[in-house]
Chains A and B, each alone.
Chain A
């Protein structure tokens, strides 16, 4: 059996940039005091889990060729709902989480309907939905905040599930769901159809894929994941407010950045949930490296710009080769290791 040769070149680095990013950040952590303590790893991964859910939702939709700008607001509303239902109506946590997730499913269905049936561009449809969700949040929680007074649930999600392993239960649940979604995307027909619809709608149609149905599934999956993550985050942090993330670094922006760093194609059809997850873990640790918010923003922005620049240049080179001599493209692919 022939062993696959790994060639370390620009293409290899680009394909694995999420892992490289994580490696660099973890390596930089060696120079920081108390960076690799169990407490720090637990809190960094726990606090970074919310954006992992958002990144998950955003990546699914981007693979399907659409933008879902509601991810942050769905998660915030879910957190408000979950904490509110528990503290105001006294419902058990599981019921609260379930209701919040159902809300996410509903939002996904509406987004899917707007995009597939009314043919509104996903950017516009989800932008509009953002405002609807904000309105609902203000109506539900005029004082802008819901508080979970139950320290038991809060401590359970903050605590380590396995003694000696420095990860909170919340982070482990997040990782588990991401692995499940990754398997779904790779190994199920619907998952692969999401890639096909995002890559080339016409080909998908010719192949008999019900693109509207698949697109709706992508939106529902995205919103329900974000809602579940938001509800869990509400319990994990013990609070949720409408302006969450708006004045610091917006979680939506981090999710978007990590999705692009993870290599998901902005045009759709290509990407990996796992790569987004790795990027988000790297971003979480990167933020812990810096004490100042402005430095966090600056470094994340520089990395995003670098990735986008690389993508744009690569796209330009590809188009140039394709436009001049199509047969050269095959040679080009071979040269960069994709042939």
Chain B
């Protein structure tokens, strides 16, 4: 009887464990074919002539085949709004800082010099870690892990584009989503290192904490790519390459147009991104410093961080309208979806159509609001292009091409006249 109970218990344990293991594996998006390809890839690549580098039908090596795949993907893969997904990145020379980080920190918030180390990835290259050398054996068959920041419509679009771009260049990928939680992202970084992929990409939840994360990846001998969100200068010592939007530049460009529309007069209030992340600084202090320098008569009325819920944003804007009255001439938003919806609702409720609203874009809601005239302007930041540039840089690294340590996606200012060129929206 006792033996029977024990046998039943052990069987039950095995069944439940099997179910758990099955559920756990379901997170692995690799198809059996991809898994097989992965296993082949893990064979010593440099030796050549083994099955992993089996010659392509045309007779080329894995590298030749990868280069052909890459060229084809660059030429054919398009974003949903009709722009090349794997377009090359934009680079530029970083201007010299006007002091040390400590000296600049003491400057006024409206002085653009203060934000030098936030705006530019200006790090001491002599402190760079030893990065793993490119295998230069082709991107085809490589497996990468992308750790995003959290659940959002933008992230879904990014993840899908990343998978699409990886597939186009012959790579496989897993995407981990820590749901905006710092400690969960730390856990995922450990998990990713444990999986021993060919590269790890991270969109850091926190710019400040990124140094620890990238150090861990680089110390494990895995190339680390920072995507979308810029990090502190000391983190760049452990980052193989950064790719993403130039948030500061696009928000400054937006601020230029806004200042002109305001005739250089009036008050501006700001709704920020999540506090601590790089978009928080870029989308608030980028336009703020630009307006302060070029339009000294434009005043900053307030800066608030109510998050991304339309109702919370609506309340903040309604309070501003009550408090500042006619002084409030414009609102700068870090997000063109829920933040824009809340803002527009508050403005309509107060019947203050004279308030100009600009935002960082571009989402479906944002494009609709620009078309309807509720949103005066927004910046163009291609989500799929962002994913594409990350994949392009990783593929170039595997292909043995010299990659730039920092490269940005292109940008534009969207208004009612040209919004059709950027639709249908990516997310």
Given contacts A291-B174, A291-B176, is CB(A144)–CB(B276) below 8 Å?
A: yes
Confirm or deny: A20 has a beta carbon within 8 angstroms of a beta carbon on chain B. yes
Least distance between B343 CB and chain A CB atoms (Å):
23
* A291 CA to B188 CA, complexed, in Å: 8
| Nearest chain B residue, comparing its CB with the CB of A287 | B187
Confirm or deny: B6 has a beta carbon within 8 angstroms of a beta carbon on chain A. yes
Those of A67-105 within 8 Å (CB) of chain B = none
Q: Which of A30, A145, A287 counts the most B-chain CB atoms under 10 A from its CB?
A: A145
Q: Contact residue range for chain B?
A: 35 or more
Least distance between B138 CB and chain A CB atoms (Å):
24
Contact, CB under 8 Å: A24 / B24: no
Contact, CB under 8 Å: A248 / B27: no
* A145 CA to B211 CA, complexed, in Å: 14
Those of B182-209 within 8 Å (CB) of chain A = 182-184, 186-187, 190-191, 193-196, 206, 208-209
Confirm or deny: B388 has a beta carbon within 8 angstroms of a beta carbon on chain A. no
Least distance between A194 CB and chain B CB atoms (Å):
30
Q: Chain B residues near A247 (CB, 8 Å)?
A: 150, 179-181
Per-position contact with A for B2-37: 1 when CB-CB < 8 Å, else 0?
100110010001101110111111111000000000
Q: Chain A residues near B2 (CB, 8 Å)?
A: 7-8
Contact, CB under 8 Å: A290 / B18: no
Confirm or deny: B418 has a beta carbon within 8 angstroms of a beta carbon on chain A. no
Q: Chain A residues near B22 (CB, 8 Å)?
A: 31
* A289 CA to B183 CA, complexed, in Å: 17
| Nearest chain B residue, comparing its CB with the CB of A21 | B16
On chain A, the number of residues with a Cβ less than 8 Å from chain B's Cβ atoms is: 50
Least distance between A306 CB and chain B CB atoms (Å):
11
Contact, CB under 8 Å: B186 / A147: no
Least distance between A167 CB and chain B CB atoms (Å):
14
Q: Chain A residues near B9 (CB, 8 Å)?
A: 8, 13
Task: For A28, give its contact among B6, B18, B177, B276 (CB under 8 Å).
Answer: B18
Q: Chain B residues near A143 (CB, 8 Å)?
A: 275-276
Least distance between A280 CB and chain B CB atoms (Å):
14
Task: For A289, give its contact among B14, B20, B179, B180 (CB under 8 Å).
Answer: B20
Contact, CB under 8 Å: B17 / A33: no
Given contacts A13-B9, A237-B186, A292-B177, is CB(A33)–CB(B195) below 8 Å?
A: yes
Least distance between A55 CB and chain B CB atoms (Å):
15
Contact, CB under 8 Å: B191 / A237: no
Q: With A28-B20, A245-B183 given, can you name 9 additional A-B contacts, CB distance below 8 Å? A: A8-B5, A25-B20, A28-B21, A28-B24, A47-B183, A147-B208, A244-B181, A289-B23, A292-B177
B: residues with CB less than 8 A from A are 2, 5-6, 9, 13-14, 16-18, 20-28, 150, 174, 176-184, 186-187, 190-191, 193-196, 206, 208-209, 212, 215, 275-276
Q: Can you spell out 30 A-B residue pairs with CB atoms less than 8 angstroms apart?
A: A7-B2, A8-B6, A9-B5, A20-B13, A24-B13, A25-B17, A25-B20, A28-B21, A31-B24, A33-B195, A43-B187, A144-B276, A145-B206, A145-B209, A237-B186, A239-B206, A241-B206, A241-B276, A245-B183, A247-B150, A247-B181, A248-B178, A248-B184, A289-B23, A289-B24, A290-B24, A290-B27, A293-B179, A293-B184, A299-B23
